[in-house]
Amino acid sequence: MIAIVDYGMGNLRSVQKSFERVGASAVIVSSAEEISRASKVILPGVGAFGDAMTNLQNRGLVRPLVEAIRAGRPFLGICLGLQLLFDVGYEDGEFTGLGLVPGRVVRFNFDGRPAARDLKIPHMGWNQVTWSDPCPLTTGIPSGSYFYFVHSYYVDPIDPAYTYGTCDYGDPFTAIIWRYNLFATQFHPEKSQKLGLQILENFANL
């Protein structure tokens, strides 16, 4: 079972419908027991880092998420679901994350950057993502492809080995992380048309 985790912060149905379009069945779940039974887990998310962590904690979902990843089950974080994997996020304060990827989540800042003065925050729309090595998540997709972003904060891993794909918005930032069974994207595959659907199909076929 592919489980899409409902913690009150995601566009869950659009993710589920995207899996349906590629012939994969994904179930929206909201309990620790359902996550523990899943063969693959997806953590989507739209909203603020601190609110998301509060919801995960209040619903008792932190432990089963961490256990699923540490047990080696394929995991896909999307947008906020990527950011929550990190140690700390600085959106409207300082908040502890899941601590599965060493690093922080910070806001784009173009102050004192004349060359970036026309860039708007949030980073919204289509942008290129590049990578150099093959990855199960991007099978059949060329490096330099465009995906759809909408975010004001980005992840800053301590260990560069976690960064698989990068995107440039003022400066390069991490757009995809990959380590063993752990995959996550800053962009929205479910909003990225054909290539986004390929990302989700690749994940379903892991």
Q: Which of 34, 91, 151, 188 is catalytic?
A: 188
Buried b (16+ CB within 10 A) or exposed e, 90-102: ebeeebebbebbe
Task: Report the 3 state secondary structure along 123-157.
Answer: EEEEEEEECCCCCHHHCCCCCCEEEEEEECEEEEE
The 10 Å Cβ neighbour count of residue 77 is 28
Say if residue 172 is preceded by a cis peptide, omega within 30 of 0: no
* pLDDT for 90: 97
Name the strand (E) or helix (H) holding 183. Answer: strand 182-185
Query: Does the active-site annotation cover 190?
Result: yes
- Distance in Å from the first CA to the final CA of the chain: 12
CATH number at residue 149: 3.40.50.880
The pLDDT tens digits for 110-151 are 887 777 778 999 999 999 999 999 999 999 999 999 999 999
The pLDDT tens digits for 85-114 are 999 999 999 999 999 999 999 999 988 777
Contact present, 166 and 132 (Cβ < 8 Å): no
Q: Which of 79, 91, 123, 201 is catalytic?
A: 79
Number of structural domains in the chain: 1
The parent domain of residue 131 ranges over 2-94+102-109+116-204
Query: Does the active-site annotation cover 188?
Result: yes
